[in-house]
Each structure stands twice: as structure tokens, then as C-alpha cells.
Amino acid sequence: MGFTCALLAVSIICVTLFATAQNESNSTPASSNVRGAQSPRVFTDGRVSFSLKAPDATTVQIGGPFPGAPFPMTKNTEGVWTVTIPPIVPGFHYYWFVVDGVQMNDPGSSTYFGYGKETSGIEVPEHGVDFYSVKDVPHGEVREHWYLSKTTGDWRRCFVYTPPGYDKSSSVHYPVLILQHGSGEDETGWTRQGKANFILDNLLVEGKVKPMIVVMDRGYATRAGKEPVNFGPGSSQHNFREAFSAFEDVVIKDLIPTIDSSYRTIPDRNHRAIAGLSTGGMQTLFIAPRHLDQFAYIGSFSGPIIPGLNAGGQPASGNSRPQFDTKTAFDGAFADPPAFNKRVKLFWFGVGTEEPQFRGSIKGAADALRAAGVNLVYFESLGTAHEWQTWRRDLHDFAPRLFQ
């Protein structure tokens, strides 16, 4: 039947086309693989094996944010390149192949939006830890919601988590957490990489968290008719402010109104939180102190503290350590700590212990704020880096403190 070849030659069951299984008994295909893909595989001790068929390639490597990367792969007589890398820390990691200098995705992996593009990812289980697993508990929904932004002039997509039972009553109203992704990621990150919906489902069934709506928007915004503002390498703090300011208007003028008119929210500051990871943390720390009439709960997950943006004082130059000035930081929001403490019910900083590039300044800012009398919760994720396992743990600590 010729048509079955035409139709089904690409059947996903035939996954061995690109990936050769390494049927080692103490390893299993990663849960982040596409259905049926036998590679990559995760070993019980945290090692990971990768494979790619590329008979004509001269060099193939595994790249990613693992210590020791890139890892060279070796080719067998059938043209299949393989490598097993040393144990990596549990959690979700982006990765990629580099084939003769060209970066490419692994056909065996699902893709996740990171680094400004679709990127392969691998999930390494953490033994005995299941707070972000899909379990036999009531599940909320993650809804794709489209809205027209006056700020940007275009239709934007956000995702909205509604808790289990949301549709069972038309009279219950809920508080709202706005939860933002990091640089190079997008509005899919918190559920796909972060598993925020399962974290909340699981906390809810344990009675540890208030039922809430979680809004995950796209952290990029360009004002209608304007060119995008570059806040990448070499940009000045001015560009951070300018880039964040368009997103600030989206959140305050477009997103909050559309959420409050579309969902059964409790539309006041005492029932609205904002948090974000990395650049999303920077955005949170830029937006929230300027709009304390909108937010009573504020969280920054590995959000860099930046001179001239949110550290107060003057912009530092080169690689000098930022000077954190509690009087002028965050546009002076902490100049009067008792007044801030009265207004803000939760101010929360988190960072992984393996984030040398951020931990010092984040802990320094937290220490300085607390010394000045600001109530602040400081959380460290042991052994994790500037990656999603840190931010899953952050959400798991942060969410139960909201709306209590």
C-alpha cells in the first residue's frame, strides 16, 4: 500500500531514524523527549547519554549550561555520534548539538523557548522530589488568552492558570499572581519548563496555598509604531528602563484590565502579586515599586540587582560591584522602611547557591534592605544554578506566602 509509505513513513513510532538507543539497564529515556524517542537517556546517578546520526560530520559536540560543556561526541562505524556526560544537577536544562560548528536541536527532544529560539531541553529527575510532577490530584487549566494591547497596538498572547474547580462555581473570586519568564524565554516557559501549574495543583491539594489565578505574559513589548529597544549586551541602564517601561504599560494598562474583566478576580492590590525570574525579576523590581497601588506581594527569582536601574546610586562601570543604596534603590521605594513594610505584605528574593554571577549582589541587596529595616524574605536554592530547578523551588516557597 504505497500511500501508507507516503502517509506514515514519518510515523513517530519510527523514532530510531535519528536516535540510536543505548539500552543500558540503569537508564531511561528523558521525560522531556518526544514520544517514543530512546535518546537522550538519563542514568540513575544523573549521567546523561546523547546520540545523533551524522555520518558525514567531522565534529559533533553537546552544548548547554552544564559544567564542562561543550562535550565532544565520538562516532561509531554506523555514523552515530554518542557521549555520556558526567552527572548533572537535577532539574531542567537547555542543550543542543554543535555539528561542525552549527548549533542544532536534538530531534529526540521536545523544544522549549529559550535563548530567543526553540531549544532542546532535558529533564533530570531529583530523587524523592515530586512537588512539580503531574499527580493524581485535581488539575487546574492553563488557558491561552488573547488580548489587544493599546500600548503595543497588537494582539498579545498570555497564559492563564485557573485553579481546580474554577468552573464549578460562578460566585468565587480569586487573587492573581503575575509570573514572568526570563530573557530569551517567553510566555510558555513557566508551565513548560517550570511546571508552575503542577506545582500549584500539588500545593493546593496539600492545603498549603490559596487558590489563585496565575497570569504568564510575554515579557517583550514595543510601543506601537516604535522600533524594539535593545537591552542586551552593552546596553545602558537607560535602555533597560526604556525597554521595561513599554512592558510596564502593558502590565498596568492592558494586562491587568483584561484579566480583571475576563476572569473572576479580586481586583485590588491586596489580592494581586507580581514575580518573575531573572530578567522577569528585574522587570518585577522595576514595575512593582512604582505601582504599589496595584501590588501588595512582590517576588524576584534570581533577579539581577543593577546599578542605575534598581540598586540606587550611580551606574557602575565595567565589572565593578554594584553599590546598593537603600535610600535611592528602586526609585526610593525603601527610603521609609516602616511605610514600605506597612504597605507591602511580602517582599521576597530568591537565588540559587550556584549562581556566582548574581548571588553576591542579590544577597548584598537583601542584607542591606533588612539592615535598613525592610521586611524581606531571602531564600536560597541549594546546589542549583541560574536554571529552572531554582525557579521551581522559588515558586514552591513563594506561592504559599501569598494572600494569607
User: Binders of a second copy among 186-225, rule CB under 8 A?
Assistant: 186, 191, 197, 220
Among 30, 42, 48, 54, binds a second copy (CB under 8 A): 54
Stretch 83-112 residues interacting with a second copy (CB under 8 A): 99-105, 107-111
Q: Copy the grid coordinates of residue 196.
A: 508552575
Among 86, 228, 257, 338, binds a second copy (CB under 8 A): 228
Helix (H) or strand (E) holding 63: strand 60-63
Give the residue with the Cβ less far from a second copy, 269 or 359: 359
End-to-end CA distance of the chain: 64
Minimum distance of a second copy from residue 230's CB (angstroms): 5
**What region does 116 belong to: left with phi over 0, alpha with psi -120 to 50, or beta?**
left
Q: Copy the grid coordinates of residue 365.
A: 541587596
SS3 content of the chain, % helix, strand, coil (to 5): 25, 25, 50
What is the total count of residues that contact a second copy (CB under 8 A)? 86
Minimum distance of a second copy from residue 37's CB (angstroms): 8
Give the residue with the Cβ less far from a second copy, 55 or 338: 55
Do 244 and 283 touch, CB atoms closer than 8 A? yes
Minimum distance of a second copy from residue 344's CB (angstroms): 26
Among 28, 36, 294, 378, binds a second copy (CB under 8 A): 36
Stretch 130-189 residues interacting with a second copy (CB under 8 A): 134, 136, 139, 141-146, 148, 155, 167, 170, 183-184, 186
Among 180, 279, 381, 390, binds a second copy (CB under 8 A): 279
Do 48 and 42 touch, CB atoms closer than 8 A? yes
Among 44, 76, 230, 314, binds a second copy (CB under 8 A): 230
Exposed / middle / buried, residue 59 (Cβ in 10 Å: 0-12, 13-18, 19+): middle
Among 8, 224, 339, 371, binds a second copy (CB under 8 A): 8
Q: Copy the grid coordinates of residue 239.
A: 535602555
Among 70, 304, 312, 352, binds a second copy (CB under 8 A): 304
User: Three-state secondary structure along 360-375?
Assistant: HHHHHHHHHHHHCCCC
**What region does 222 belong to: left with phi over 0, alpha with psi -120 to 50, or beta?**
beta
Minimum distance of a second copy from residue 12's CB (angstroms): 3
Does the footprint of a second copy cover residue 74 (CB under 8 A)?
no
Give the residue with the Cβ less far from a second copy, 98 or 344: 98
Minimum distance of a second copy from residue 328's CB (angstroms): 18
Helix (H) or strand (E) holding 249: helix 237-249
Minimum distance of a second copy from residue 314's CB (angstroms): 13
Give the residue with the Cβ less far from a second copy, 307 or 337: 307
Residue 271: which residues within 8 A CB-CB, separation 6 or more? 174, 175, 176, 265, 296, 403
Minimum distance of a second copy from residue 293's CB (angstroms): 27
Give the residue with the Cβ less far from a second copy, 37 or 344: 37
Stretch 256-275 residues interacting with a second copy (CB under 8 A): 262-264
List b or e across 139-153, with b for residues whose CB sees 16 or more CB atoms inside 10 angstroms. bbebeebebebebbe
Does the footprint of a second copy cover residue 31 (CB under 8 A)?
no
Q: Copy the grid coordinates of residue 296.
A: 501588595
